[in-house]
Amino acid sequence: MVPFTPGQIENPTLQRFYSLLEALALNRETQSEVVDHTLPKFGAIKRRASEEITAFKECFNLNNENIFKKPRPTQSTCNQEAKCCLSEIECKEAVQSDSLHKYTIPVLRETIKSLGLKISASKKSDIIQKIMNHFSKN
């Protein structure tokens, strides 16, 4: 095994930074991109180890599957919080105990809809004020 020292490989990002800094300081034109020698050579890997890679994939059933891809969230999980709302009794209790501010805006919006009020406000404080006004009239 060949001993590795980090000084053998130059950081391509730092190379690019220092070349741009030098060009700016000396009023020269910027050079082209610095070649990153740390990236793997996929062509050589495929040419030398393609048979072993396919055998490995077949052994572990990894053929053309992206096992690291996250599943997309369903519609029901995305809007789960917005669907629930306070009942009229819960809303009255929240107004009396002054705890409406604990609820999220989607819950408060759904509560306003269930009370038969029109939603015109987008700020949480305005929505809470509208609910409080509704129950103070009743």
Q: For residue 122, what is the domain's CATH number? A: 1.10.720.30
What is the share, in percent, of the chain residues with pLDDT greater than 70? 87
Strand ranges for the chain from DSSP E: none
Q: Give the lowest-confidence range in 10-24, 58-72, 124-138.
A: 58-72
Contact 101, 78 (CB under 8 A): no
How many domains in the chain?
1
In a domain, 95, yes or no: yes
In a domain, 101, yes or no: yes
Instruction: Specify burial of residue 61 (Cβ count, 10 A radius: 0-12, 13-18, 19+).
Output: exposed
What pLDDT is recorded for position 82? 46
Q: What is the pLDDT of residues 59-106, one digit of tens each?
A: 888 766 665 667 777 765 545 544 577 888 888 888 888 888 888 888
In a domain, 119, yes or no: yes
Instruction: Specify burial of residue 120 (Cβ count, 10 A radius: 0-12, 13-18, 19+).
Output: exposed
Q: How far is CA 107 from CA 4, 58, 81, in A?
A: 58, 50, 7
In a domain, 107, yes or no: yes
Please give the residue range of the domain that contains residue 107.
82-137
In a domain, 104, yes or no: yes
Q: What is the pLDDT of residues 34-51, one digit of tens each?
A: 778 788 999 999 999 999
In a domain, 18, yes or no: no
Alpha carbon distance 56, 52 (integer Å): 6
In a domain, 35, yes or no: no
In a domain, 49, yes or no: no
